[in-house]
Amino acid sequence: MIRIGKWLWQPIDLGGLENPGGILSFALAVSFRSIILTSVAGLGSLPVLYGLRILALPVDQMIRLTVVFSWMFGGVLSGVLAFIVGHVIRDLSRSRAEFERLSRTDSLSGLANRRAFNDAFTRIDGEASLAIIDIDRFKLINDRLGHQAGDQVLQAIAAVLRRVFGEAHLVARLGGEEFGVILKGGSWEQRLVQVELARRCVAAEAITFDDVELSVTISVGVAEFQRGFRAESVYAAADQALYVAKGNGRDRVIHERTLCQPKPDYEHEVGDDARLFGVSSLRG
């Protein structure tokens, strides 16, 4: 009896509704609880009803009727309602999870969005690397070929970043042509090698729009998280490294530890049109 009492008051786990047979288990649990409670309530009320001379049937018949009605109304009815409610709860849970996923996903690239990035960024505790990635000459792509071409470039680069970094690291689109990656595990040198691999893979990716093959590159600034470092300082260091990468000719990865280098030389830099479209080929 004590075990039954504990079972009756034990909360029903709604988390199991996603499992196969979870809704049926939920409905049966509710049904059996209803049978026991209605049976106890019905049997407990019989002495009072007989004392008030409301009931005239023999006691054994009333006990059987009470149990039957408990199964019919308390058990079957509550079980059916619980089965329906279980489906409703599961659908609402799935809708909420999908809404949460969409609210943290960039609709164009399919990567994490700025909100998801900021949440992860502020929770970094320990060693990790932050890479801020910017697509070189992206404005020129939009100006020359239109925003549809720009969207295609963003999607192509997002696919490359997802392929290179995988699920082990957070890859996010921060807005416009800027991406952010939080890398964990290994040494900072190993993480830097992976960022360099991403840069090379983007440069080697064939991106074609309306028979125009684009030579798209990225510039990357990298900074390190360490215990006691403020997140804002790490972001500022990575952003400064990105600025240096842009100023030194683009298509390169600059780590914060190499910022003490000569100022960029713009005099010999190749023009944007020549760099972006100079190796383009028209297919037709």
Residue 171 corresponds to which tokens in the numbers above?
């890859």
Cα–Cα distance measured from residue 239 to residue 227, given in angstroms and rounded to the nearest whole number: 20
Q: Report the SS3 class of residue 74.
A: helix
Q: At CA 67, angle to CA 65 and CA 68, rounded to 5?
A: 65
Please say whether the beta carbons of 61 and 52 come within 8 A: no
Choice among 100, 177, 196, 267 that is catalytic: 177
Residue 73 corresponds to which tokens in the numbers above?
């109304």
> What secondary structure letter does DSSP report for 177?
T
Residue 128 corresponds to which tokens in the numbers above?
């990790």
Residue 240 corresponds to which tokens in the numbers above?
């400064």
User: Can you give the C-alpha Rg of the chain in angstroms?
Assistant: 32
Q: Provide the residue type at 114 as one letter.
A: R
C-alpha atoms less than 13 angstroms from C-alpha of 188 in its C-beta half-sphere: 14
Q: Provide the residue type at 272 as one letter.
A: D
Strand duo 128-135 + 178-183: pairing = antiparallel
Query: Sign of dihedral through CA atoms 18, 22, 24, 27?
Result: negative
For residue 27, how far is the Cα from the chain centroid?
Answer: 31
Answer yes or no: 177 catalytic: yes
What residues have CB less than 8 Å from 171, skipping those under 6 apart? Answer: 111, 112, 158, 161, 162, 165, 179, 180, 181
Q: Provide the residue type at 40 as one letter.
A: V
Q: How many CB atoms lie within 10 A of CB 216?
A: 21
Please identify every residue annotated as catalytic.
177
